[in-house]
Amino acid sequence: MNSRLPTPFRGLRRRLAVRAAESDIWDAVQLARDDGRPYTLDYVRYLVDEWVELHGDRAGTDDHAIVAGVGSFRGRTIAIIGHQKGRDLKERAFRNFGMAQPQGYAKARRVFALADRLGFPVVTMIDTPGAYPGVESEQAGQAAAIAQSMLEMVRLRVPSVACVIGEGGSGGALAIGVADRVLMLEHSIYSVISPEGCATILWRDVNQRRKAAAAFKPTARFSYELGVVDTVVAEPSGGAHKDHERAARLLGDAIAGALDSIEAEPVEQRRALRREKFRRMGVWLEDGVVVGEKEPDPGALVAGD
C-alpha cells in the first residue's frame, strides 16, 4: 500500500503549516504592541537614579514622542533617548503614539552631542510604529532629520547601546538605532515597515497584514538570525508587561554587559566596527558572489568628524 498522502492532502498540510506560521508571527506582533508593556520612562524609573529629563530642540519645539535625559545607571552617568507611547487616549495623543517628528530627532541629536562632549555613554530605547508620516513632518524635512540622527550616532566617540523594547518600526526606529550594540527584547519586533503598511503597498489591502508580517518576519529570533541585532534579551514569562520590574532588571543586566564590552575597545576601533557592522547589512550572495557592497571611500568615512 502506498503510504504517501494524495496530492490534495499534501497541499492542505502545507497550507495549514503556512497559516500556523503566520499565526505565530502575528501573535508576536500583537505581543510587541501590547499596551501594558513597559515604555522608556518605565525602564528609566527602574534603572536610572538622579534622572534629569532634557526638553526641546533648541529651536522652540519639544516633541513629546521622544524623551531624553541623563542619569546614573549602575555607577555610570549615561544619556538615554527613547520613544514614549501613552497608556490612555489622552497621553497617546500627547505623545503622538510614539511617532516622532523632525523636532524629536533634533532633540535626540542635541542629547547625542551633549553626551559625546561630556563622555557619557548613550543608551537608546526604540518603541515606535515609525516616524510620523504627516504632511507637516515631510515639509519640515523628516527624511533629512532621520538621516542626520543616524549620522550623529555613527560619529559618536562614546559607547552606544540601542534597545528595541516594543515596536521597532522603519526609519523612525533606525534614527536612534545605529549603535555599537543593538539589543532586542524577546517579544519585540523590528522591521523596515509595519505589517499594515506593507500589506497596503503590496496588496492594497490592510487585511493582508498577517501575510505581510509572515513574509518579512520581524520577530527577535529572525532579526538575530539575519544579523540585524546583536543580542536577544529574555523577558519574564508571558512578556515584559507581566512584570515590569523584572523586565527592567533583565534589560539592565544586558545593557551593563554591553557597555562593559564596548568600553574595552579603543575609541577609533569602536567607531570603525560600528560603521562596518551597519555597512554589512544589505550585503548578500548571488551565485556565490558578494552583491550590494561598495568599497568605502576612506575620506568619506571621516568627513565632518
Q: Could you read off the pLDDT of 109-168 as tens digits, one per residue? A: 999 999 999 999 999 999 998 898 889 888 888 999 999 999 999 999 999 999 999 998
Last residue of a domain, which of 246, 264, 282? Answer: 264
Tens digits of pLDDT across the chain (305 residues): 455 656 565 565 565 555 556 678 888 898 899 989 999 999 999 999 999 999 988 888 889 999 999 999 999 999 999 999 988 899 999 998 999 999 999 999 999 999 999 999 999 999 998 898 889 888 888 999 999 999 999 999 999 999 999 998 888 899 999 999 999 999 999 998 888 888 999 899 999 888 888 888 899 988 998 888 999 999 999 899 999 999 999 999 999 999 999 999 999 999 999 999 998 887 776 766 666 555 544 444 433 44
Domain assignment of residue 64, yes or no: yes
CB atoms within 10 A of CB 72: 13
Residue numbers of the domain that contains 277 = 266-305
User: Are 42 and 68 contained in the same domain?
Assistant: yes
Contact by Cβ (8 Å): 69, 51: yes
The x, y and z cell numbers of residue 73, run together, are 545607571
Domain assignment of residue 7, yes or no: no
Give the CA count within 13 Å in the CB-facing half-sphere of 10: 5
User: Are 244 and 279 contained in the same domain?
Assistant: no
Domain assignment of residue 8, yes or no: no
Those residues with Cβ within 8 angstroms of residue 121's Cβ, 6 or more apart along the chain or in another chain = 76, 78, 79, 115, 158, 159, 160, 161, 259, 262, 263
User: Are 178 and 228 contained in the same domain?
Assistant: yes
Task: Report the percentage of the chain scoring pLDDT > 70.
Answer: 86
The x, y and z cell numbers of residue 44, run together, are 528609566
Domain assignment of residue 3, yes or no: no
User: Looking at the 3D structure of the chain, how many domains does it have?
Assistant: 2
Beta bridge partners of 164: 126, 184
Name the residue among 22, 97, 78 with its Cα closest to residue 263.
Answer: 78
The x, y and z cell numbers of residue 279, run together, are 555597512
Domain assignment of residue 1, yes or no: no
**Phi, psi dihedrals of residue 155, rounded to the nearest 5°:** -85, -5
User: Are 167 and 299 contained in the same domain?
Assistant: no
Find where cell 498577517 sits: 210
- What pLDDT does 304 receive? 42
Those residues with Cβ within 8 angstroms of residue 277's Cβ, 6 or more apart along the chain or in another chain = none
User: Are 150 and 270 contained in the same domain?
Assistant: no
Domain assignment of residue 205, yes or no: yes
Those residues with Cβ within 8 angstroms of residue 99's Cβ, 6 or more apart along the chain or in another chain = 65, 128, 129, 130, 131, 132, 133, 172
User: Are 289 and 178 contained in the same domain?
Assistant: no
Domain assignment of residue 4, yes or no: no
User: Are 238 and 273 contained in the same domain?
Assistant: no
User: Are 148 and 284 contained in the same domain?
Assistant: no
Find where cell 508587561 sits: 241
The x, y and z cell numbers of residue 246, run together, are 523584572
pTM higher than the cut 0.75: yes
Beta bridge partners of 53: 69
Find where cell 564596548 sits: 262
User: Are 80 and 221 contained in the same domain?
Assistant: yes
User: Are 115 and 244 contained in the same domain?
Assistant: yes
CA angle, residues 290, 293, 299, in degrees to nearest 5: 145
User: Are 34 and 166 contained in the same domain?
Assistant: yes
Contact by Cβ (8 Å): 232, 221: yes
User: Are 65 and 178 contained in the same domain?
Assistant: yes
Name the residue among 294, 301, 150, 164 with its Cα closest to residue 232.
Answer: 164
User: What stretch of H or E contains 11?
Assistant: helix 7-32
Domain assignment of residue 255, yes or no: yes
> CA–CA separation, 207 vs 215, rounded Å?
14
Those residues with Cβ within 8 angstroms of residue 90's Cβ, 6 or more apart along the chain or in another chain = none
